[in-house]
Structure 1
Amino acid sequence: MSATEPGGTTANVPRKAALASFVGSALEYYDFFIYGAAAGLVFPEVFFPDSDPATGTLLSLASFGVAYVARPIGAVVVGHFGDKLGRKKMLVATLLLMGVSTFAIGLVPSYESIGVAAPIVLVLLRVLQGLSAAGEQAGANSMTLEHAPEGRRGFFTSFTLQGTQAGLILANLVFLAVAMLPDEQLFSWGWRVPFFLSALVVAVGYWVRRSLPETPEFQRAEATDEVAEIPVAVLFRDHWSSVLRVVLCALISVVSTIVATWSLAHGTQIVGLDRTTLLWMVILANVLALAALPLWAMLSDRIGRRPVFAIGAFGSAAVAFPFLWALQSGRIGLIFLVGILLAGLVYSAANGIWPAMYGEMFDTKVRYSGTAIGTQVGFALGGFSPSIAAAIVGDGADGWLPVALLTAGAATVAGVCALTARETAHVPLAQLGTRPADRDRQVTRA
């Protein structure tokens, strides 16, 4: 991409797009992840108090997973309008929806106050969070990918995931502070504070995203009448195999949900570990991830997307076993060491490059829809992994093994599917999502 192009792009815009993706994703996923922390640490007591600890934890984690059911629906709707009306408009809309629904969660009365209506309202608001999150990363990825310089798409799109990790760090830091409150204060009002802070999230995120121009690629598609009337119909007619591949690759998200959500719930409710201890493990892992993500992404710009993703997927499958063994044994030092290695370094190899790898499977007219639908169906399957893990975990020293097999199996499927994809790291932006024969005809016409 040149310094000045017909769409009005300047050399500074790719950096602004990456920054907007980072800040927007950090703010949006702060909202999304504080629910995960609350589901593991607080909601069993606040919204499911009549259940025994194990059942309360299972129900709370199921409410966390409900958003993942809504996400494929949201992906179809948001993806359609993102490919039809533009990336920028939908990114602003998803941010506002996330902020409002998250603030409202902080207002929900406890089970003790209004009975069964409390968890019902909680779940409905969680569904709205899922609808918003469905289009967030796909839109940010499409925006950044289409602004990025050739040969550096992996690096620039990795800022979307760096923002997601920053949001997770921020969410856990805020919950770390409120988790130190006495239980009476934590369960009555303390847990609500992180949700009320979403008002600031909306204000900052709205300002950042409103200042970014629409991508030159989408502007060209509009100018040449290439915008699809029904993008989803075109997507499933011409790109169904890529959608399926993204769905299966997105199962790598099981690693994240097991470490960041299930391990908190299981470690505190069942193993008996201190909640602040596990929060610090998650925070430090994601601090390392902030540094690892762009490095893995730059490596993928050099050697390709497939080998880097495979390193992350197969490596995560292997390291899941010692992490879950350490968690079940309650050995704090090993939990920190292996947990940070798994979530901070190894998993980041796949997590840092999927924004580029998935987006490069589709052309401009269906990129938003393809990335959104493919990832969100895969994430929906992965989103229930904490509740599945809570149901299959066994008693005793070997109780962790079924959860390890679940995690490793999902990561292995993702790695194998990534190796079946075409390598796109060095394919020009205008030729992404096209068949090799079509690319040859484009070159001939040029």
Structure 2
Amino acid sequence: MSHDPQTSTSSAPAAPPKVSLKEARRIAFAAFVGTALEWYDYFLFGTAAALVFNRLFFTDLNPAGATLAAFATFGVGFAARPIGAVVFGWIGDRYGRRPALLTTIVMIGCATGLIGVLPDYLAVGIAAPVMLAVLRLVQGFAVGGEWGGATTIAIEHSPEKMRGRFAALVQIGSPVGTLVSSGAFALVLMMPPETFDAWGWRLPFLLAFPLLGIALYIRLKVEESPVFQELAAAGEQVKVPVVELFRKSGLRLLVAVAAAMLGVGGFYMMTTFVVSYGTNVLEVDRQVMVNATLIAAVLQIGVTIFAGRLAERFGPGRMTVAGGLTTGIAAFPLFWLIDTESPIAIIAAVSIGIALITLSYAVTGALLAELFPPRLRYSGVSLGYNLAGAISGFLPLIATALITVGDGSSWPAVLVLIGICVITVIGGAFGERMRLRDDIVEIDEAAS
């Protein structure tokens, strides 16, 4: 393991801060709840973009154009994420992890809930997609600071030998959020098509308001990171973290982006893109496609826990490489199964694809948190992850466009997936060698 002299500074505390195991678990659970709400909101939008936004908010376009426009709106949220990462990274590294995380979760929940009350194109014309895009931008801006902050505060409350499992607990928010959003859509899709288009699709978005209340209640009980408290006590916060991040840790940031690509981009290729491809190109019943993501999300929970434990033994970088290699090898066979149009084959393909991607995604938080020193961690983790997200958010759009201008076969989408696998393998290999251990937290056995 190498230590970058530019980023491994003397700011590490002389005596490791101590936390009780009970407190560490409570913080990780609070981080998980916020991540679950984040993924609920984001996956909800992605599913709606494939199934309803293309028809109700882009009515004046042909079906292919409407789907592309809906995915473009979906991608706009990802474009806003790096901006949110910079702003909330500054708050988190300068003033504390806790205030940043309280702000992000409120913004995410409110933006999602408001989508549920938007008028459609037939009611207000062009204003409908404009308002949809604005709320998507707010979502993306807030998410830019949510995951990085949740991961940072969970890691900074966990001992070194347990970082894999605590980081994985945060990542379980992804399948749980996906599970709840897929379940909500699966229920409303049981309505008659006219009812679903009239108001049924709005219900999953409106559910974000009560979910926000629960998440906010839990997060208000979260205490500030002991690592940040040490930094604040020593007055070692960085005034403008993003400037120092690019100036002194640019290579680490690049590695973080590469390592995170598959967990974000691969997930959306195997969910958002596959739902759209199956529904609009293969003309498979949309209920089958949503059910496939539902079953895959259940499997993903177990794989996340398993991969987190493996990361404690083999290292998060090596697990990232394993996820990239196995997903890349399986890419063509997975899409061959999807192209059979068999419900069982589609469910199997989506489940296996998500499971393989999760080998990388489960350990992304553990790897990224150890790439940056504490004084730059919130900004580094957030910006690295969300730059990957900004690129990945347009992958469903790119894959859909390639298939549209081609002969309708799935091979262009497979090449997109393999491409991000290669990038993540490189990021994981370099990331394992660049891990830092600047802030080892110890468990207070007496308090536990």
Normalised to the residue count of structure 2, the TM-score between the two structures is 0.92
Distance 2:307 2:407 in 1: 35
Distance 1:397 1:335 in 2: 21
1:316 counterpart residue number: 327
Report the secondary structure of 2:60's partner residue.
coil
Q: 1:159 to 1:120 in 2, by over 3 A?
A: same
2:261 counterpart residue number: 251
1:386 counterpart residue number: 396
1:412 counterpart residue number: 422
- Deviation, 1:333, is 2.0
* 2:326 alignment partner AA: G
2:44 counterpart residue number: 34
1:237 counterpart residue number: 247
Distance 1:305 1:374 in 2: 16
Equivalent residue for 1:286, pick from 297, 310, 333 = 297
1:269 counterpart residue number: 280
2:446 counterpart residue number: none
1:375 aligns with 2:385: yes
2:271 counterpart residue number: 260
1:143 counterpart residue number: 153
* 2:204 alignment partner AA: P
- Deviation, 1:393, is 1.1
- Deviation, 1:209, is 0.7
Normalised to the residue count of structure 1, the TM-score between the two structures is 0.92
Equivalent residue for 1:430, pick from 414, 426, 439 = 439
Distance 1:27 1:332 in 2: 29
Q: 1:396 to 1:90 in 2, by over 3 A?
A: closer
1:437 counterpart residue number: none
Q: After the TM superposition, which parts of structure 1 deviate over 4 Å for at least 4 consecutive aligned residues? A: 5-8, 394-398
Q: C-alpha deviations, 1:336-386, integer Å up to 9, x for none?
A: 11221110x211110000100011000111100001111111111110001
The percentage of counterpart residues that share the same residue type is 32
Equivalent residue for 1:352, pick from 362, 367, 371 = 362
1:303 aligns with 2:302: no
Report the secondary structure of 2:431's partner residue.
coil
1:130 counterpart residue number: 140
Higher relative contact order (CA 8 A, sep 6+): 2
1:165 aligns with 2:175: yes
> Number of residues paired by the alignment?
426
Please, what is the CA RMSD of the aligned residues?
1.8
Distance 1:58 1:181 in 2: 26
Q: 1:396 to 1:117 in 2, by over 3 A?
A: closer
Distance 2:271 2:142 in 1: 20
1:175 aligns with 2:188: no
Q: 1:166 to 1:29 in 2, by over 3 A?
A: same
- Deviation, 1:249, is 2.0
* 2:117 alignment partner AA: L
Unaligned runs of 5+ in 2: 1-14, 442-448
1:57 counterpart residue number: 67
Is this contact kept in 1: 2:258–2:426, CA < 8 A? Answer: no
- Deviation, 1:258, is 1.0
Q: C-alpha deviations, 1:19-51, integer Å up to 9, x for none?
A: 111112112321222111111111111111222
1:191 aligns with 2:204: no
1:91 counterpart residue number: 101
Unaligned runs of 5+ in 1: 433-446
Distance 1:307 1:150 in 2: 17
Report the secondary structure of 1:393's partner residue.
helix
